[in-house]
Structure 1
Amino acid sequence: MDVVMAFFRNIPGSAILVGYVRSRCETEPLFFAVELMLVFIFLRYICARSYSYNLRQSNSISLTESEIDELIEAWTPEPLTTALTPLEENALKNLPIIVGPTGPRCMLQTGRTVTNLATYNFYDFAGDDRIKENAIKVLRKYGVGPCSAPGFYGTQDLHMDVEAKIASFLGTESCLLYSQAFSTMSSIISAFAKRGDVIVADEACNYSICNGLRISRSKIYWYRHNDMEDLARILAKIVKDSKTISRRFIVTEGLFDIVGDMVHLPEIIKLKREYKFRLILDESNSIGVLGRTGRGVTEAYNVDISQVDILGGSLSGPFAAAGGFCASSREVVEHQRINSPAFCYSCALPGMLATTAGASIGMLQAQPELLSECRSLIAALREQIAKSDWVISTSSHLNPVQILVFKTDVINSEKLDIIEQEELLQAIINELLSRRILISRLKCVPPVLDTTLKHNEWLHRPALKVSVMTGLSKREVFKAGLAIRQVISKIMRQKQN
């Protein structure tokens, strides 16, 4: 023992350690005991023998190669998707394929010429010779596409020209072009809203917006469709219950894609100013349609566009092009050039499509009478639909796309569920196609895909989509509306019998 102690005293720093131990034992013996226990646990952990799990332990099951092969052959993987329903099979079987340009009258693959009431080419810009000639010139000069993202040498001078033209048309400070319409709103929302932020959205918003809400991972609140009292209630509750500082947004559409009605923009702007929220507005269906000159819902309500913090939309409808845009302040636009996923990682919009959008805007500005002509055709169609005993239009009287749903009393009296309604609508479409009239059915992503948003109360109603375009005469639209009304009555009476 004396030898051990002598050896210990010869270790440098041993006197300090002994003094520390004596001091701790005299002043704080309990804490010293805890420290000593922790040191012991640490040394025990360091000195413990490491081990690995043995896959061939005695309790494991050994299989021969033949047994493994039998199990693999007997195993059936879960299918990637469910089988098609009879309704889906019927819709795919009767899917019309257009041969040639999409115009007021188009040729189907079957060889039949039909009256086209299933297009967003409201002013027939897609078939205008001046726009086609301009697109050919751009194609020869710039090629078929930039083959690169805008931030990686995909931006061309014509992109900047079209962005400036759209900004001037709308009256905003700046504008940004997207190469795909669907991803525009999804990327706009996710570029600004993040985890911890708050978004209040109309429950009837389109799937592109819902996708952006999911990507943003923000806290989502839904207000009843176009119900300003419910919106005010939710905004007040958020402000009252808020304990942290976060960015807050209201998200809605100008013309709702799956309902067809128009947003109550003045009331929303009043509420967003009162409760200090920012407004993100999707004008995909209202730009080029609403307002005296087609500038959208802000012009229709005579609202200063600066009251809308972020405005997005599509160029693939009445402007006969592709892609989308975001128009806002310079800071908002420049932020997206380096933070918007769809802008940063998608190939830039082909030049001929960008200039087509710019040329279409120019033609609409030069011919504002096109808007009046289109609205007269809408009125002619709605006049016939209003006489139907079975369906009603939920669309605005200014919307070229009329959404037709079964009346509530018809649904109740006939006891129609969702599937039966969809089947009847598809039968109506098929019968009209046999009469050389082309219309479509409202198709939405199944609500089950939106479960991550914790919102399953509001479901779209099965509906027909009937659109008008200025290439058709008022008489043609009137006759088509009459045929639609007659076919609906025929199909419904067949069901009753």
Structure 2
Amino acid sequence: MAGQPAGGVLDYLNNTSTQLQITFHRIPGSALLIRYIKASYQDDPIRSVIELCLVVFVIRYFLSSKYSTENTNYVKLTEEEIDELVDEWQPEELVVAPTTDEQLEIDKIPVIVGPIGPKVKLTSGKTVTHLASYNFMNFVSSESICEKAITTLRNYGVGACGPPGFYGTLDVHMKLERDLANFLGVSDAIIYAQAFSTISSVIPAFAKRGDIIVAEKGCNFAIQKGLQISRSTIHWFEHNSISDLERVLENIRVQQLVKRKPLTRMFIICEGLSENYGDIIDLPKVVELKKKYKYRLILDDTWGFGVLGKTGRGVTEHTGVIPSEVDMIVGSMANTLVGGGGFCAGSAEVVDHQRISGAAFVFSAALPAMLAVTASEAIALLSAPTAVDGFSQLRENTRAFRVGIEKSDILWTPSDPESPIIHLRIKPQLCEKYGLTQHDQDRVLQEIVDEALQKDVLLTRARHIHHQEAHPNQPSIRVCVTAGHNKKDVEKAAGVVKGAASKVLPKRK
């Protein structure tokens, strides 16, 4: 054909085109297809192009060669070599044996006999002052709560035996959610069956991969697990430092502008009353920065709820912040409310989203009815006029213990004067003087706890899973003052702790 004139080539192409058209028209339905293409092209030519691309893709997909997902990039072993490797393999232990120090701690754990209260009886027979309980308002001793718990147990049984969305929701659950929302002054609330799982489920229900979370370094372990599950981009700011929080937020804003990153969801996560420090966040400043930089705020008020504020509504009441200015308020019902589980309060949209996206809500059995009724009754007691006396007693006991400890030459506390959670730590200059490592500090503090128990004061050392913590926490003794104690008992306990520290630390060489 290279030697054919131009006219011959055109004739050949015309004949070929004619033959193809004749062949195509012989296909059944070809006329309908042609009319569809012409109409489609006139109405929307872009759609015709897209449909053509899809047709080409489908044809290419079915005509492409098959492939195997089997990985062939490995060394093939003989049957004898495989058997030899199987015989040599030793599985890891399911439970690792405790170390000498761990076993020593286990052996020293005191066992309580009978009900929990300001004073408890141990298996050894002695009665001790209990400063390791989260029974801050002493509702455990409330007769009305005990009577309602017993009645509910008889009427509803032990547990719901199903998730809330699958025959697990009871009328008492719905009442508790209304009680929590009304008590906090927000639109709605949702309850979870386990306190630890609440915040670690709330975070990944809203934050996903690619989202931005700004969290404080001193946050509790449950928050850390929620951050890890969310797989979001985490930015840390120094514990309880508003200036550092603003610095981090400004750096993120600049990075977003410089790198022209797409808009994404952004959250600030902090604690109201810190579990690991006992201090209180400057919530008004956090809310101000949240509005300035367009973030959503998740507040974990597990330890402030039922304790802080004139009526126990938490850090929002304590700092004068309107609850609706916080997007999500998370708390525990296993502390002051002497029940179990946790809650998340906020707008109706926030709550409804968790009912289908909160993993701990969707896949966990619902809260036992008895604990729900207990929590509702505790909220009623917090709302009663008589609760003022309980709050006054709690704060008086907290001040009395702090006054006694502040006279110590060995221990100091970073906790807020209003916090019933008081962390006791060895003064930094003494750690340097005695060359105390973190492990040494744990040992010294445990010896102080043991010595105090000999003087009839029950304490506990703050425990941490160090190899899983995002940021290390300084060892401390966690003291929990309650309204059930009297001032004399608390002052005596402070003296015992101070004396135990003075006795134990000088022994260190």
How far has the Cα of 1:175 moved from its partner? 0.7
TM-score w.r.t. length of structure 2: 0.83
Closer/same/farther in 2, CA of residues 83 and 142 from structure 1, 3 Å limit: closer
Within the alignment, does 1:239 sit opposite 2:258 as a pair? Answer: no
Counterpart of 2:180 in structure 1 is 166
| DSSP-derived class of the 2:508 partner | helix
Matched residues in 1 for 2:162 and 2:78: separation?
55
| DSSP-derived class of the 1:404 partner | strand
Matched residues in 1 for 2:153 and 2:114: separation?
19
Counterpart of 2:272 in structure 1 is 254
Counterpart of 1:331 in structure 2 is 349
Letter in 1 for 2:369: G
Letter in 2 for 1:355: V
Within the alignment, does 1:489 sit opposite 2:505 as a pair? Answer: no
Within the alignment, does 1:280 sit opposite 2:311 as a pair? Answer: no
Counterpart of 1:459 in structure 2 is 472
Deviations 1:269-315 (A, max 9, x none): 11111101110000000001110111000101111111101110000
| DSSP-derived class of the 1:383 partner | helix
Closer/same/farther in 2, CA of residues 473 and 62 from structure 1, 3 Å limit: closer
How far has the Cα of 1:78 moved from its partner? 3.6
Pick one of 126, 149, 164 that aligns with 2:163.
149
Matched residues in 2 for 1:355 and 1:274: separation?
41
Matched residues in 1 for 2:420 and 2:77: separation?
69
CA RMSD of aligned residues (A): 2.7
Counterpart of 1:6 in structure 2 is none
Closer/same/farther in 2, CA of residues 62 and 421 from structure 1, 3 Å limit: same
Q: Answer whether contact 1:223 1:234 (CA < 8 A) is retained.
A: yes
Closer/same/farther in 2, CA of residues 114 and 275 from structure 1, 3 Å limit: same
Matched residues in 1 for 2:421 and 2:66: separation?
76
| DSSP-derived class of the 1:63 partner | helix
Matched residues in 2 for 1:115 and 1:391: separation?
20
Which stretch of structure 1 is more off in the superposition, 103-112 or 387-396?
103-112
Matched residues in 2 for 1:81 and 1:461: separation?
27
How far has the Cα of 1:473 moved from its partner? 1.3
Pick one of 208, 216, 225 that aligns with 2:230.
216
Within the alignment, does 1:133 sit opposite 2:151 as a pair? Answer: no
Deviations 1:338-383 (A, max 9, x none): 1100011111111110111111111122122211110000011001
How far has the Cα of 1:158 moved from its partner? 1.0
Closer/same/farther in 2, CA of residues 60 and 141 from structure 1, 3 Å limit: closer
Within the alignment, does 1:422 sit opposite 2:442 as a pair? Answer: yes
The correspondence of residues 46-65 of structure 1 with structure 2, limited to 5 A, is: 61=78, 63=80
Within the alignment, does 1:111 sit opposite 2:120 as a pair? Answer: no
| DSSP-derived class of the 2:151 partner | helix
Closer/same/farther in 2, CA of residues 75 and 332 from structure 1, 3 Å limit: closer
Counterpart of 1:316 in structure 2 is 334
Matched residues in 2 for 1:285 and 1:203: separation?
17
How far has the Cα of 1:61 moved from its partner? 5.0
Q: Which runs of 5+ in 2 are unaligned?
A: 1-12, 21-60
| DSSP-derived class of the 2:80 partner | coil
Matched residues in 2 for 1:483 and 1:78: separation?
45
Q: Answer whether contact 2:434 2:508 (CA < 8 A) is retained.
A: no
Letter in 2 for 1:313: G
Counterpart of 2:114 in structure 1 is 100
Which stretch of structure 1 is more off in the superposition, 248-257 or 137-146?
137-146
How far has the Cα of 1:81 moved from its partner? 5.8
How far has the Cα of 1:169 moved from its partner? 0.6
| DSSP-derived class of the 1:394 partner | coil
Q: Answer whether contact 1:146 1:350 (CA < 8 A) is retained.
A: yes
Letter in 2 for 1:373: Q
Matched residues in 2 for 1:423 and 1:286: separation?
29
Counterpart of 2:135 in structure 1 is 121
Letter in 2 for 1:95: I
Q: Which runs of 5+ in 1 are unaligned?
A: 1-12, 21-41, 451-455
How far has the Cα of 1:47 moved from its partner? 12
Pick one of 210, 215, 240 that aligns with 1:201.
215
Matched residues in 2 for 1:409 and 1:269: separation?
36
Which ranges of 4 or more aligned residues in structure 1 deviate by more than 2 Å? 45-48, 59-64, 71-87, 109-112
Letter in 2 for 1:449: Q
Counterpart of 1:368 in structure 2 is 388
Percentage identity across paired residues of the two chains? 41
How far has the Cα of 1:104 moved from its partner? 0.9
Closer/same/farther in 2, CA of residues 492 and 165 from structure 1, 3 Å limit: same
TM-score w.r.t. length of structure 1: 0.85
Letter in 2 for 1:464: I
Matched residues in 2 for 1:249 and 1:360: separation?
32
The correspondence of residues 379-394 of structure 1 with structure 2, limited to 5 A, is: 379-394=399-414
Matched residues in 1 for 2:149 and 2:95: separation?
41
Matched residues in 2 for 1:46 and 1:266: separation?
64
Q: Answer whether contact 1:283 1:297 (CA < 8 A) is retained.
A: yes
| DSSP-derived class of the 2:208 partner | coil
Matched residues in 1 for 2:334 and 2:66: separation?
69
How far has the Cα of 1:72 moved from its partner? 5.0
Q: Answer whether contact 1:364 1:370 (CA < 8 A) is retained.
A: no
